[in-house]
Structure 1
Amino acid sequence: MCADDLSLPDTRLLRLLDLLYDTRSVTRAAEHLGLSQPTVSIWLAQLRAQYGDPLFVRTPSGMAPTPRADAMIGPAREALDAMRRLGRAGADFDPATSTRHFRIGMTDASHITLLPPWLAQVRVLAPSVRLSAARIDDTTAQALAAGEVDLAVGLVPWLEAGFYQQTLYPQDWVCLVNARHPRLGATIDLAAYEAEAHVGIAAGTGARLLAQALADADVQRQVLLELPGFLGLGAILSTTDLVATLPRQIGETLARTNGLRVLACPVAIPGFTVKQHWHARYHHDAGNRWLRGVCAALFLRPQANPP
């Protein structure tokens, strides 16, 4: 194989070629590289062997390039510049000027609890960034891997393996009722829980946790109304005597905005943690890191008794 058929040397040898061409000195090239002179001499020997040419020869005025080195220096510098651009590509994210469109997988409960403060903070830090809320379903894992969704936030147990995750806060369960409920005061016991009419929320992993806990405890609810999600729940509870059992954060948020009362749930329902999840492909993406950081700054709560 002739020398012209050889592939380009690695970056360190290209850098050496560039420095020797500028400095005409092995010693000064070694200083620029932070290496010993013998190491640089070994690298130069590798270059000479690869291209079958001395490349640089000693003269009274220093290491003079050969015609082969003269021919190589232009393409070598173009290659070095391309590598530098490649290294910088996507490395920087300026929220103040970015027009990036982020997609966040979340439940409709998070539309009420997480999205408003998240959007408000993004508008302050990144006024031209756009957000979209995507559904969390059985396609979420594929969407994260494909970059169609940047983050998924909530209770998403099927994303535990193969995805990065960060625990944000724990959730327990509460009951939510009209503040002027005709029969319930500051508490609700198990007998009253079974006697009252309920609103059931059908959607979400949390609904399955609740259904299993009620079945395990042999507790029977009288579900008078079933909703696919939390849309309209606050208005319904504020105008009826129905009871809703739901995670604390959405319960407390609806209570504040609809004048409702939060009661301790008389049934032991396993708690869970809300997490943000992202795919390994985007772990080092600067924009994704920024979005995760905003989420953590807003919602991360230190655990009192970390595992």
Structure 2
Amino acid sequence: MHYKDLNLLKLLIILNEERQTVLAAKRMNLSQPTISIMLKKLRDQFDDPLFIRDKNNLIPTVKCAHILLTLPDILGQLDKLYSDNMAWDISQLNGELHLLLSPPLVSTLGSQLVKRLTLLAPELTVQCSHWSINTPQKLEMNSHQHFGITYLPMETNKTLMEQEVGSDTFAFVVRNDHPLTEATINNLLPYPMSICIIPGVTGPSKAEQLIRHFKLKKKINLRTSDVSLMTNLMKESDYIGIMPCSLQNSIGDGFRFLSLPPELVPKSYQRKISFFCHQMNRKQPLTEWLIKEIKGILKTL
């Protein structure tokens, strides 16, 4: 069985309308020799001349005229097949959608994203979980409606698609009446300190790397991915937290955010945030919608 190039069929319609290969070439933005090669392939496929030259015009043969009668419907059905595939409607989503978010992003990005999904896809159930050290493996094993968002760097393999969607800055956080007024290195040393860890990130945190680099006589007293634990400690004691600035509106008015000392972290330093899913979902409309929405939400935080 010989391969049939269906893309050539549109040439029959254009040649019938233009009646000259030169005009057909201009209309299709191709060279005249290319049009001649395409016409030869069509003649071979249909075992018919298809067009007979009459002076300067091409006249369709009886067989070609019959083919031209059926082509509009056939090509219309093919176009409809592709257009239906692209006419994605988020309101028709159902079943379960799994979001696996880095813990600091759950109360900010997560709440906004779930709210929009609930509004636009009421038949959908969103299962929102914390990103953990095993999340990349979960995304590799579950391609259907499983998506993850977390901070970088994150080790994954080529099975997963990674798309940068935004960035975040980090700051010291204290309760409003905390005695700390200026976040200098010397002022920070007397107080217990906690850091918001990102599950799955390999190696020590940025804060601990800097403490070691500057040989500060300071210990990180708590590492946790539980934002509520950090806020409770800061509320009830002199604990200082290092948290993403995106949490500023979600943890309440009882806290102050203080910029990290420039000698520790450059003012331009940002932690990138990426979207992850199975490569099979790369071109899916839902994936594209999620990436667009996530980028928009992160810009507002």
Give the alignment's TM-score, normalised by structure 2.
0.69
Counterpart-to-counterpart distance in 2, 1:117 and 1:173: 22
* 1:143 paired residue number: 139
Among residues 48, 51, 62, which one is paired with 1:65 in the alignment?
62
Within-5 A mapping of 1:256-267: 256=252, 259-266=254-261
Among residues 144, 147, 152, which one is paired with 2:149 in the alignment?
152
RMSD of aligned residue pairs (Cα, Å)? 4.5
Counterpart-to-counterpart distance in 2, 1:261 and 1:166: 29
Give the C-alpha shift of residue 111 in structure 1. 0.5
Counterpart-to-counterpart distance in 2, 1:129 and 1:87: 25
Going from structure 1 to structure 2, the CA distance change for 1:278 and 1:72 (only over 3 Å counts) comes to: farther
Give the C-alpha shift of residue 292 in structure 1. 1.5
* 1:109 paired residue number: 104
List gaps (5 residues or longer) in structure 1.
302-307
The answer on 1:173 being equivalent to 2:171 is: yes
* 1:305 paired residue number: none
The answer on 1:212 being equivalent to 2:245 is: no
The answer on 1:98 being equivalent to 2:92 is: yes
8 Å contact from structure 1 (residues 155, 272) kept in 2: no
8 Å contact from structure 1 (residues 152, 276) kept in 2: yes
Going from structure 1 to structure 2, the CA distance change for 1:144 and 1:79 (only over 3 Å counts) comes to: farther
Give the C-alpha shift of residue 285 in structure 1. 2.9
8 Å contact from structure 2 (residues 51, 61) kept in 1: yes
Give the C-alpha shift of residue 168 in structure 1. 1.9
Give the C-alpha shift of residue 223 in structure 1. 4.9
Q: Please give the secondary structure, in 1, of the residue aligned with 2:189.
A: helix
8 Å contact from structure 1 (residues 144, 278) kept in 2: no
The answer on 1:268 being equivalent to 2:264 is: yes
Going from structure 1 to structure 2, the CA distance change for 1:125 and 1:284 (only over 3 Å counts) comes to: same
List gaps (5 residues or longer) in structure 2.
54-58
Report % sequence identity.
15
Moved more, 266-275 or 104-113: 266-275
Q: Please give the secondary structure, in 1, of the residue aligned with 2:264.
A: coil
Counterpart of 1:172, as a letter, is: F
Counterpart of 1:290, as a letter, is: W
Count of residue pairs brought into register by the alignment: 283
Moved more, 291-300 or 201-210: 201-210
Q: Please give the secondary structure, in 2, of the residue aligned with 1:195.
A: coil
Provide, for residues 110-141 of structure 1, a one-character-per-residue CA deviation record: whole Å limited to 9, x for no partner. Answer: 00222122333344455445544352546528
Counterpart of 1:256, as a letter, is: G
Going from structure 1 to structure 2, the CA distance change for 1:225 and 1:265 (only over 3 Å counts) comes to: same
Going from structure 1 to structure 2, the CA distance change for 1:231 and 1:167 (only over 3 Å counts) comes to: same
8 Å contact from structure 2 (residues 194, 239) kept in 1: yes
Going from structure 1 to structure 2, the CA distance change for 1:202 and 1:12 (only over 3 Å counts) comes to: closer
Counterpart-to-counterpart distance in 2, 1:215 and 1:125: 48
Give the C-alpha shift of residue 268 in structure 1. 1.1
